[in-house]
Amino acid sequence: MNVAAAVEIKIGQGAKPGIGGHLLGEKVDAAISATRHPSWLAVPDEEEYEILSALDEGAPSYKKIVLKGDRIVGAIFIGQIDRAGIITGLIKERISVSSFKELLLTEDFGLLSLPAEYRKHVVSGLGIEV
């Protein structure tokens, strides 16, 4: 191809390239059907979970954090994803957020909001004190 006005490349995941992987009815077996409504997408019981959320239409961005007791068990960040890595670390390490929960969705939330003992494991390097 020496000269071309445009090139279009389509990559598909399923039966219909470029459409997003739609499968025809006869190709849907029990295993595939189970993925359409997985249990982990279910709305949590409001008595067992606390949901914190913030919508900034000016940005636009949306943040949602799901707590079970004093620990974060899930989060969604759309648009501005600042501090999503910190939230991910708190989920993985099962860190209690009770002492800084009110800061989680604020602009003031950051590494200095975290407990000193946890910060020592997150931030390290020559001349760095946290």
Burial track 54-91 (b if 16+ CB lie within 10 A, e otherwise): eeeeeeeeebebbbeeeebeebebeeeeebeebbebbb
Query: Of the ranges 2-16, 50-64, 92-106, which is most confident?
Result: 92-106
In a domain, 115, yes or no: yes
Average pLDDT (85-92) is 93
Do 36 and 53 lie in one domain? The reply is no
In a domain, 32, yes or no: yes
Lowest-confidence region among 26-40, 52-66, 88-102: 26-40
More confident residue, 10 or 105: 105
Query: Residue 8: which pLDDT band, with cuts at 50, 70 and 90?
Result: low
Do 78 and 113 lie in one domain? The reply is yes
In a domain, 3, yes or no: no
Do 28 and 56 lie in one domain? The reply is no
According to the model, what pLDDT value does residue 39 have?
Answer: 57
pLDDT digits (tens, 9 = 90+) for 71-84: 999 999 998 888 99
In a domain, 128, yes or no: no
Domain span at 61: 43-122
- CATH number for the domain including 108? 3.30.390
Do 64 and 79 lie in one domain? The reply is yes
Q: Please give the share of the chain, as a percent, with pLDDT higher than 70.
A: 59
Do 71 and 90 lie in one domain? The reply is yes
CB count in 10 Å sphere of residue 122: 14
- Nearest 5°: phi and psi at 74? -170, 155
Query: What are the C-alpha distances in Å from 98 to residues 17, 22, 33, 71?
Result: 47, 44, 39, 8
Cα distance between the two ends of the chain: 57
Do 69 and 112 lie in one domain? The reply is yes
Bridge partner list, 65: 52, 75
According to the model, what pLDDT value does residue 44 have?
Answer: 59
Do 60 and 19 lie in one domain? The reply is no
Do 65 and 91 lie in one domain? The reply is yes
According to the model, what pLDDT value does residue 7 have?
Answer: 57
Do 107 and 58 lie in one domain? The reply is yes
> How many domains is the chain built from?
2
